């Protein structure tokens, strides 16, 4: 199924990802500068939390959009649910 992001959601996701890119660059810089390990770990946790928010937003959009559409049309509803469960298992590992 094609991704059909609302423009506002798409912009929000892209902005979050740009901030995460900056966080990752900052973590690299901290390691290069031999910053205190705990400070680096705090930044890693913050980047991971930010990525999780992006992932959850994608799950929400996919469920409300693609999954709901497939269930309403009764075409491939079971397949799309199986796909959602599979990706959820991979996401939480």
Helix (H, G, I), strand (E, B) or coil at 39: helix
- At 22, which CATH number? 1.20.58.1000
Structural domain for 81, as ranges: 7-92
Q: How many domains does the chain have?
A: 1
CB-based contacts of 77, cutoff 8 Å, min separation 6:
70, 71
pTM for the predicted model, two decimal places: 0.82
Question: Is 2 domain-assigned?
Answer: no
Domain presence at residue 61: yes
pLDDT tens digits for the chain (93 residues)?
A: 455 667 888 999 999 999 999 999 999 999 999 999 999 999 999 999 999 999 999 999 989 988 888 888 877 678 888 999 999 999 988
74 belongs to a structural domain: yes
**57 within some domain:** yes
């Amino acid at each position: 199924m094609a991704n059909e992001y609302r423009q506002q959601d798409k912009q929000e996701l892209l902005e979050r990802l740009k901030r995460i890119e900056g966080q990752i660059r900052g973590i690299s810089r901290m390691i290069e500068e031999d910053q205190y390990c705990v400070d680096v770990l705090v930044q890693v946790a913050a980047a991971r939390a930010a990525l999780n928010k992006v992932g959850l937003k994608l799950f929400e959009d996919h469920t409300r959009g693609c999954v709901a559409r497939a269930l309403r049309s009764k075409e491939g509803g079971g397949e799309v649910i199986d796909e959602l469960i599979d990706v959820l298992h991979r996401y939480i590992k």
